[in-house]
Amino acid sequence: MKDQALSNVAVLLTCYNRKYKTLTFLHSLIDQFGFKRLQADIYLLDDGSTDGTAAAVKKEFPFVNIINGTGSLFWAGGMLTIWKYAITQKVYDLFLLFNDDVILLEDSVERLMATYMEGKSNGTILIGSTLSPVSNQLSYGGSSLYKSNRAAYYSVKPHDSETLPCQLGNANILLVDKFTVERIGLFSNMYTHYLADFDYTLTAFRNGVDVLIAPGYYGYCEDDHGVNWLSGKHSLKKRISYLYSVNGLAYKEYLYYIKKHFPADYISAFAKLWLKTLFPIIWDKFKRREMHN
């Protein structure tokens, strides 16, 4: 069954107004020998870019299937939309999810596929770790929970030659097989921008899917998230707006995620969101102390 996966692969990504990064990613993917062997179909959702991304992709890569978004899908909404579209076009055995700000290593697809082929077939998610091009340290990848019923987690560095189990994964580089999709479906439609990948990998893990960190690193991608609150220099009105914004603290969606997976943390999560918003200076001092302990 896994032999068939080599010729039935869908690549999924979404983009918005970063033409150079999108084109750079596509070159880093398509120029690989390992990718050429796959003969995969590429699906790109352009969510209303105004910088000519779609036209540039169409010119350089006419075989890429470009779908237009509504302009307000953001990352999670865009990935869910393009995933839904792809499965209406063909029966796929594997789905490769990427962020378009990743620059893949030249053998990343070949190594990722080889790792998948060595595993079981009862449902597998493989997470490809990325390095910061600035610090050369782990930027995105897999994470493990400190306790199964608590939301706190820590990043796991990949092993050089073995897969490592985890519960949470970033979808900057993510392989999902058809057995996983048959078991848990696609991304949840409850998320607009963040959290869809964490929700998906944790849901998969709790439904018996193997959620694994693939050996080594697969590309470069800078972690540009920074702190996830606004400082006291901003007005209260702006901080509250950021609290509810889907590309800010995503108040409703984050609390949905916590209630679904970690109900014991719901009250503390609720309190922390408001603490960040109403008393950012205190929160900033608390976090700084925490980082130095």
**Residues 157-194 pLDDT 10s:** 999 999 999 999 999 999 999 999 999 999 999 999 99
pLDDT of residue 148: 95
- Tally the domains of the chain: 2
Among residues 260, 269, 138, 139, the alpha carbon closest in space to that of 200 is found at 260
Alpha-carbon gap, residue 85 to 110, rounded angstroms: 26
Backbone phi, psi, residue 27, to 5°: -60, -45
What's the pLDDT score for residue 174? Answer: 98
Structural domain includes residue 227: no
Place of tokens 């490809």: 128
Instruction: For residue 228, tell me if it sits in a domain.
Output: no
pTM to 2 decimal places: 0.93
Q: Are residues 200 and 247 in the same domain?
A: no
Q: How far apart are CA 273 and CA 249, in angstroms?
A: 8
Low-confidence stretches of the chain (pLDDT < 50) are 1, 3-5, 289-293
Whether 89 is covered by a domain: the verdict is: yes
Q: Could you tell me if 249 and 110 lie in one domain?
A: no
User: Does residue 128 share a domain with residue 179?
Assistant: yes
- 159 shares a domain with 49: yes
